[in-house]
Amino acid sequence: MDLRAELLKSIWYAFTALDVEKSGKVSKSQLKVLSHNLYTVLRIPHDPVALEEHFRDDDDGPVSSQGYMPYLNKYILDKVEEGAFVKENFDELCWTLTAKKNYKPDRNGNSVVSHQDAFKLWCLFNFLSEDKYPLVMVPDEVEYLLKKICTAMNVELNSCELDDYLSQEPQGQGGLTVWQFLDMVNSGRFLRGIEQEAVSMAVEEVYQEVIEDGYLWKKGQLRRNWSERWFTLKPSVLSYYMSEERKEKKGSIALDKHCCVEVLPDRDGKRCMFCVKTSSRTYEMSASDTRQRQEWTLAIQTAIRLQAEGKKSLHKDLKQKRREQREQREQRKAAKEEETQRLKQLQEEKERKLQELELLKEAQRQAELLLQEEEQRRRQQHEQMQRTLEIQLREAEQARASMQAEMVLKEAEAERQRKRIVELEDMQGRLQEALQQEVKARQDEESVRYAQARLLAEEEEKLKQLMKLKEEQEEYIIKTQMEKQVLKQEMENKNKCLEEAQKQLEEVRVNRQRVDQDVMAAQRKLRQASTNVKHWNVQMNRLMHPIEPGDKRTNVSGGGFAGYQPLLLRRDSSLK
């Protein structure tokens, strides 16, 4: 996310806050005031001519965000220089405009976070939100930010309760708006039983960690004295100012791949020291405690590494990685759904093929039944014809016997019988044709059976493909489980590192209590010594006064003590 994108997010809130009627347009007079304020906080030279010319009163009416963008890009964003203005002042301007309209804390004063903490949460929300409008923060980033705040308070976040809340909360564009997020934090549901001061300190710690700035003691180069400076860390430079308002810049340290950070032993009355070594100079600094020193050294080392890799910020890099992981999860989910859909289609195709196969089998059974019926009918016809022929042959034999007896008389009838034989031969020819048709039917049956065998082979090939896809799916599931185990192992390692850091913090606290006890004992000894000195001064004053002859003891004692009382007071004051 570059500087322009960060500025546009805050300006978007200011623009929508000025859109009172929620029509997507803002009056020119309001945009004129907004532009003038942006000129001021961004420390850009004012261009009153362009401002008056662009926002002069005419009949065009209010301006939409698309209509305001050309002026915003040309006269404001194109002229912004990083480091030339205080980013926090710019954010406070946009927050003031949008909070008046949208931020609604508890009127009874029961809000978990103060107004200033709400502003810092708003800045953190803008940093972690998606780069599309309207701005929302996805549930993964919401959980990440809440975990950071709870970790700063040594409290564990209830993830199950957060998931229940997010499932009940209506989410637009796939995430929470900043006002939904602030309402969720102010509800106290996840920070139950924690004081507002502790929440404020945790928000401040997370804010400084993400913004990467804070106070450090720095040793001068010429006078070698220690001065407290406000440091701001960027990937390419570590700048330091007179105060956190960053009005007076005292210097900067250029960071490149040749720089390094080293921890130094305590000396010169300073503790928690470290130094930044460049190619030309070594800068010595001191943090308030060991934890702050560790955070600064790690942040500077990370900035040097990111500078060498050409990246901009640790938290921006982590945010990009989390976004890539979410996209990979969504892609895996889409691929899994696509695989499921494809398997479903293959199952449907298989069922359709099985139905077609059943239909073919049923058609084959029907064809076999028809063939059997046709064969039975032809057999009956053949038997009937054969019986008829046998009867006719018997009749022919009888007729021939009769003809032989009555040859001469029955010659005409013999001729008729010959004609009948011709008809029988014709009938025999038709019978042969019927037999040929039966053979052809059997051949058709064989072709149907061959087609059936081919369909069965295709079905077997489809089953093999289905089994292969199933094996690929199982391999993919095993690979996903292995990745999950690796991620689980990494999480356990990080938890171990966190426990070790907490143990070190407890040791530091015990050492600090021991040092406080030593200081109190030294103070008691000092008070005792002061009391003894006062007593011996009184005795010396009494001994230094000479005793004259004839003086009364009471007068001598009173006069001598009264005479040397100023001396005693002066010596006592000098000892103090």
Q: How far apart are CA 28 and CA 61, in angstroms?
A: 8
In terms of pLDDT, which residue wins out, 352 or 545? 352
pLDDT at 314: 53
Residue type, position 318, single letter: L
Contact residues for 323 (Cβ-Cβ < 8 A; gap 6+): none
pLDDT for residue 235 is more than 80: no
pLDDT at 565: 45
Quickly state the pLDDT bin for 550 (edges 50, 70, 90).
low
Nearest to 184 by CA among 198, 201, 167, 197: 167
pLDDT for residue 564 is more than 60: no
Beta bridge partners, 253, equal 238
In terms of pLDDT, which residue wins out, 19 or 362? 362
DSSP character string of 208-262: HHHHTEEEEEEE-SSS--EEEEEEEE-SSEEEEESSTT--SEEEEEE--TT-EEE
User: CB of 199 within 8 A of CB of 153?
Assistant: yes
How does pLDDT run across 24-34, given as a tens digit for each residue? 888 888 888 88
The average pLDDT across 258-278 equals 87
Question: CA quadruple 516, 522, 526, 532: dihedral positive or negative?
Answer: positive
**Before 235, cis peptide (omega within 30)?**
no
pLDDT at 555: 43
Round the average pLDDT of the chain to a whole number and report it.
80
Contact residues for 205 (Cβ-Cβ < 8 A; gap 6+): 152
pLDDT at 576: 44
pLDDT at 110: 65
pLDDT for residue 573 is more than 50: no
- For the chain, helix, strand, coil in percent to 5 are 70, 10, 20
Instruction: Quickly count: other Cβ atoms within 10 Å of residue 120's Cβ.
Output: 22
Q: How far apart are CA 535 and CA 542, in angstroms?
A: 11
The average pLDDT across 464-477 equals 88
Averaging pLDDT over each range in 188-202, 365-379, 533-547, which range is the top one?
Answer: 365-379
In terms of pLDDT, which residue wins out, 561 or 398? 398
Q: What is the 3-state secondary structure (H, E, C) of 374-404?
A: HHHHHHHHHHHHHHHHHHHHHHHHHHHHHHH
Domain locations in the chain?
A: 1-87, 88-315
Residue ranges with strand state E in 396-530: none
pLDDT for residue 498 is more than 80: yes
pTM (two decimals): 0.49
In terms of pLDDT, which residue wins out, 554 or 528? 528
| CATH label, 88-315, candidates 2.70.50.60, 2.30.29.30, 3.10.310.30, 3.40.50.880 | 2.30.29.30
How does pLDDT run across 139-198, given as a tens digit for each residue? 888 888 888 788 878 777 777 777 777 777 666 567 788 888 888 888 777 776 677 788
User: CB of 514 within 8 A of CB of 508?
Assistant: no
pLDDT at 106: 66
